[in-house]
A and B are shown apart, each in its own frame.
Chain A
Amino acid sequence: SAVISQKPSRDICQRGTSLTIQCQVDSQVTMMFWYRQQPGQSLTLIATANQGSEATYESGFVIDKFPISRPNLTFSTLTVSNMSPEDSSIYLCSGTHSTDTQYFGPGTRLTVL
């Protein structure tokens, strides 16, 4: 298994600013992902964080808005740039050792005013 932590756990931000969310895994994982969970909704995959290279973004998500880094096999960051109230969501990272189990972090609850 893998234990995943995220920082911050929650934040309240002003419109137009940016927030960087950190994701730390207690063991090396093959893949890391970032999801968004808008209020009352399910999880939507934002991107796959690739170690040492650019992230792979899903349709509707772009690097300028959600830059992602993954410098090693246990750590990744997601930045939410130029925030608007529509970005208010829970952002979750996940990691997997193999294709049949993903472990999730506790999420970062973001409110944009």
Chain B
Amino acid sequence: AQSVTQLGSHVSVSEGALVLLRCNYSSSVPPYLFWYVQYPNQGLQLLLKYTTGATLVKGINGFEAEFKKSETSFHLTKPSAHMSDAAEYFCAVSDRSDKLIFGTGTRLQVFP
């Protein structure tokens, strides 16, 4: 069975500061890992995904994440936060089937 833990339900950063959103997963098989973003009153948008190959994956809007098998982690980072990054971020895992298991989400606030 798969599970996802997102540490920190709320993260606040200043504009221009580093963004780090944490995600740890549990999977009995090599996982597929995803980060989705949800802006207020909108659906989910795929930021990036890891399936196979290079463990550092780059996504849209300057975000990237690194798959670390030894740490069972897939943390999301962005070097410099922008006001428009304020949203809810969800980490998700699949066992390479079509079913996604979501974490509880992290709300990112960006202060000027």
A: which residues have CB within 8 A of B? 4, 30-31, 33, 41-45, 48, 92, 94, 96, 99-107, 109
Contact = CB atoms under 8 A, between A and B. Distances in A.
Nearest to A108: B43
B111 to A, nearest CB: 22
Interface centre among A41, A43, A45, A94 (most CB of B within 10 A): A43
Interface stretch (B20-28, B62-70, B79-87, B94-102): B94-102
Q: How large is the interface on B (under 10, 10 to 19, 20 to 34, 35 or more residues)?
A: 20 to 34
B98 A99 contact: yes
Which applies to chain B's interface (DSSP): helix, strand, loop or mixed?
loop
A33 B32 CA distance: 18
B98 A106 contact: no
Contacts of B51: 100
Given A33-B100, A41-B105, 6 more contacts: A33-B98, A45-B99, A100-B51, A102-B100, A103-B46, A107-B43
Interface of B: 32, 34, 36, 41-46, 49, 51, 90, 94, 96-100, 102-105
B98 A48 contact: yes
A42 B42 contact: no
Contacts of B99: 33, 45, 48
